[in-house]
Structures are given as structure tokens and as C-alpha cells.
Amino acid sequence: MSKEIQYRINREITAPEVRLVGLEPAELNGIYPLDQALRMAEERGMDLVEVAPQANPPVCRIIEYSRLRFEQKKKAKEAKQKLHQIEVKEIRLRPHTDDHDLAFKLRHAENFLQEGNKIRAIVFFRGRSISHPEFGERILREFAERLAHIAKVEVPPKLDGKNMTMILAPVKPGKRSTGGKASEGTASAPAEKK
């Protein structure tokens, strides 16, 4: 999905002079005519790669081009793995959902929340059941209470037409463990007084 950066290498570079950086003896870094920079890269068995074309003169490095592309792809892959797209998963309920069905839907909701996704719990009203929205609100509140250990209510139950919706978001791991840290601190305080 991410666009790969295109570098100009060797004879594709058109500037008359280039600034070389990243050379092992630091004294060799500096501005060189293009032909001399190309010769230096050829002597090392590497490529002259233009890394900052907008600079004046353009900045180049002497490096293996295939290695540079490999490192670039590796960084892009790592960045993509760290990026987690949060999705809103939908759980559908009825005002009179049985306990077994509710438990089944809770297991799915727990899996979604553990993956870092949000949950939109929807209660559908049919026919005359819309005249008792308190049943839908009761089931949504029970749903939220049973998931309280891993989720918090982001948007409370709200009636919208023939549906009542509520959005739950996963609780960050650091927030869950704060209770444990507070109890450890109080337990160690008396020991220090002795």
C-alpha cells in the first residue's frame, strides 16, 4: 500500500556535483564532481545513490542499492505490523435474547475487544416491542457489565428509530493494572515503617 521511494543511482544522477555522506573515513565526506564520485563508488564495488535530490548539491551515498531497497522494505513491513487498524465490529441482539445466546455473543465480543477492535452492540426492536425500550436498554447494560473487565462504554445506549445502539471500546492494558499497583504500594508502606 505504501509507495516505495525511487532513488536515482549511478548514471541516472544528472547534477554536475554531489555531496557524499556516510563514507568510512569521515574526511572523505564532502562535495565531489559527479565523475569522481562515480569512480569512488566503482572502486568500492558499490553504487552511487542519490538520497536527497532536493539539496543543493544533491546528497549521495556510496552503498549497495539492493541492500538499501531491502532495508527500506524491512522498515515499511515493520511499520505496517505496528499499525493496527481499529474496526468497529457489530453484535446484534433482541430485547428478549436468552442467556445462552447472550453468552455466545459475549464470547465473540471478548475476542473482538482483545484484538483491539470496538464493539457496536445493537438491539433490534420488532413490531410492538418498540413500546418497551427499557428491555433493550436492560440487555445492553447487562452486556456492558459482563464485559466491564476488558471494555468501557464509549457511547451509552441510545434509541435510534427501531434500533438501540451502544459502543464499547477496549480498555488499555495499563489502565486495568492500576488497581494492582495501588494495592502493592499500600502493602509495602507498613513494611517500611518497621
State the average pLDDT for the chain: 79
Query: Does residue 121 have a pLDDT over 50?
Result: yes
User: What CA–CA distance (Å, rounded) separates 148 from 142?
Assistant: 10
pLDDT (0 to 100) of residue 4: 60
Question: Which has more confidence, 176 or 13?
Answer: 13
Question: Which has more confidence, 7 or 156?
Answer: 156
Query: Does residue 5 have a pLDDT over 70?
Result: no
Tell me which of 92-101, 135-144, 167-176 is least confident.
Answer: 167-176
Give Cβ neighbours of residue 168 (< 8 Å, ≥ 6 apart).
109, 113, 118, 119, 121, 144, 147, 151, 152, 153, 154
pLDDT (0 to 100) of residue 120: 92
SS3 content of the chain, % helix, strand, coil (to 5): 45, 25, 25
Q: What is the pTM of this model?
A: 0.48
- Catalogue all structural domains in the chain, each as residue range(s) with its CATH number: 8-81 (3.10.20.80), 88-172 (3.30.110.10)
Query: Does residue 94 have a pLDDT over 60?
Result: yes
pLDDT tens-digit series, residues 124-164: 888 888 888 888 888 999 989 988 888 888 888 888 888 89
